[in-house]
Structure 1
Amino acid sequence: MTDKISEFKDLLQRAKFVTFLTGAGVSTPSGIPDYRSKNGLYKREKYDFPPEYMLSHDNLVEHPDVFHDFTVHNMYFPDAEPNIIHKKMAEISNEKGAIVTQNVDKLHTKAGAKNVVEFHGNLYDNIHCLTCGKEFDYKYYLKDYRHHEDNGIIRPGTTVLYGENINPDNVEHAVEDVECADLLVVVGTSFKVYPFAGLLRYAKNDAKLVVINKENLDLDSEVLAISDDAVNVFSQI
């Protein structure tokens, strides 16, 4: 494993543009649960509806109280702090690259990263009433999902819910960052959620690909696959 980390470190040093593609596993060391692992959000307990419905636009509109309770107690971690993975990625991407993340926790930005595409949006920006559009601070949303001036439902941020389309600007910027990279680094994601998982098809033919994930993703044999804790890996680069 040490040899692979050394190879990764060498690739980072030689790369001209590094694009990190990140998922929930990057934020679990900061105390934020992932989704699909055996201890993840989707498997921790029984819900009234399937987890995908709990985080859907339909649930937001049809059962706003259920949606609010689930979201507030399972998705918001405002006191979470960036870990070594976020910090190292911020340092590298600010110098020569970008980060495209599935995460909605804003920890990449909190770590100081300037070139971040939040592919699925985030939970903290543009929290607004679906009736009148008035914006609210996330702290208000943690307490109430109703805008009492017009009884409108408050939507939590720019997060893309199940049943909604990805923001076209996010897709465009993510594709550009993948196309620019001579080194792509996939970290902490099962790579099963589309269209995020399809971003690799925009990579240059000669781009190097590194995957850092506890579980094998069964990608091309030429990929440098590091089956290790990402905290351990990024602590050594």
Structure 2
Amino acid sequence: MKFLSLIIVLALVMLVVSSPLPKDDNADGVSKNSKSADSKDDSKDSKDDSKVSKDDSKDSKDDSKDSKDDSKDSKDDSKKSKNVSKNASAAAEGASVLQSQKYNDFQISDGVAGKAEEEATALFKDINRDNLAATSEEDLKRIKAVHDVAEDAEVEAFNPAVKSATGPDAEAIQAGKIKNKVLKLEATVLGLQIEEAKGKNVADKLAVEEKKLKKNISLDAEKAGQPSKGVPFDGST
């Protein structure tokens, strides 16, 4: 009887040992969920990388456009620099750098008062003031012609216009007349300086004209910012 019981016990033990363990459904679920989450994260990262790539591509195109614009500006500046250099070189060698112009194209009276000296000087910017003796005779004639046509405009156009105008219009024309005087006297002084540099004795006359120029520059400065009006005049250099 004991022997039989022992056999039964051994049989039960063998049965238990040979039976497979149940699968852990929770573990599988966690594993599957983990894989799914990793897959979604990878997909999100891929989309983010794609977006960054597109942004980088856009930035690259913008940089390329900016580079082209800068290159264009650089070429324009280079072209202007070459033109200035060319005129400066011509002036240094005694070649003519001034062109014949109509008074209405180079007059400085329109606009506002206060910058007549700067505007008048700009008209002769191509003259080499460091070597006035090298100024061509043709350019000297052009400079004297600026004086002549500006003086004619003062007498024949500005004076009658000032007398016939009233109120703010008269004040604006008067301001324009002063600016025209600055232009005329700037040409006078520059012409005398060139003649002096070439050996002509014009010291006394130059001193008188410089005094007149300084006075009218001061009058223009007193009206700085106020309206200034030119008067059309048919004349050229």
Same fold? TM cut 0.5: no
TM-score bin (small chain): under 0.3
Which structure has the larger Rg?
2
Instruction: Pick the structure with more strand per residue.
Output: 1
TM-score (norm 1): 0.28
